[in-house]
């Protein structure tokens, strides 16, 4: 039976959006796509701040599940203006991901649900 992984700071995902920040099933943790909105729902004009905020949310789900970034097996990132912030993204991502590095796909998109977001990341982790 799947088990919801809901860090306290991300409880609004359940109440507002009716989705789990993470869902554990058969040893895997499937994560919702996270954008870089702050706790008050605002987006910084600085892509680096948004990217850091996303990795903070990913860390919260991993820690709630008793895991770390070394447990990531797949990451998909969606970007508006990918070429404009790819170097920043790669640099920030390198602070978090560890060898063996997760599989990663980066995709340019036209937009997100909320105006102002420049990146959304979804991940899959696996308990070892």
List the domain boundaries for the chain: 3-126
The reported pLDDT for the residue numbered 11 is 95
Cα–Cα distance for residue pair 54/69, rounded to 1 Å: 13
Instruction: Annotate 9-46 with three-state secondary structure.
Output: HHCHHHHHHCCCCEEEECCEEEECCEECCCCCCCCCCC
Task: Quickly state the pLDDT bin for 128 (edges 50, 70, 90).
Answer: confident
For residue range 80-123, list pLDDT tens digits in order.
Answer: 999 999 999 999 999 999 899 999 999 999 999 999 999 999 99
Contacts of 32 (CB under 8 A, 6+ apart): 13, 19, 20, 21, 22, 122
Which pTM does this prediction carry?
0.96
> Which CATH class, in words, describes the domain spanning 3-126?
alpha beta
The reported pLDDT for the residue numbered 7 is 97
The reported pLDDT for the residue numbered 39 is 87
For residue range 21-75, list pLDDT tens digits in order.
Answer: 999 999 999 999 999 999 889 999 999 999 999 999 999 999 999 999 999 999 9
Average pLDDT over residues 15-25: 96
Phi, psi of 94 (to 5 degrees): -65, -25
Which ranges in the chain belong to alpha helices (H)?
12-17, 47-64, 82-96
């Amino acid at each position: 039976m799947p088990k919801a992984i809901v860090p306290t700071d991300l409880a609004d995902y359940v109440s507002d959006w009716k989705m789990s920040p993470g869902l554990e099933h058969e040893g895997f943790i499937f994560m919702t796509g996270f954008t870089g909105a702050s706790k008050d729902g605002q987006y910084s004009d600085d892509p680096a701040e948004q990217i850091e905020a996303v990795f903070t949310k990913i860390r919260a789900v991993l820690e709630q599940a008793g895991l770390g970034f070394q447990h990531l097996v797949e990451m998909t990132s969606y970007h508006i203006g990918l070429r404009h912030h790819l170097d920043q993204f790669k640099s920030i991502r390198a602070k978090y991901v560890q060898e063996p590095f997760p599989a990663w796909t980066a995709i340019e998109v036209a937009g997100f649900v909320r105006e102002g977001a420049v990146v959304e990341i979804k991940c899959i982790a696996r308990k070892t």
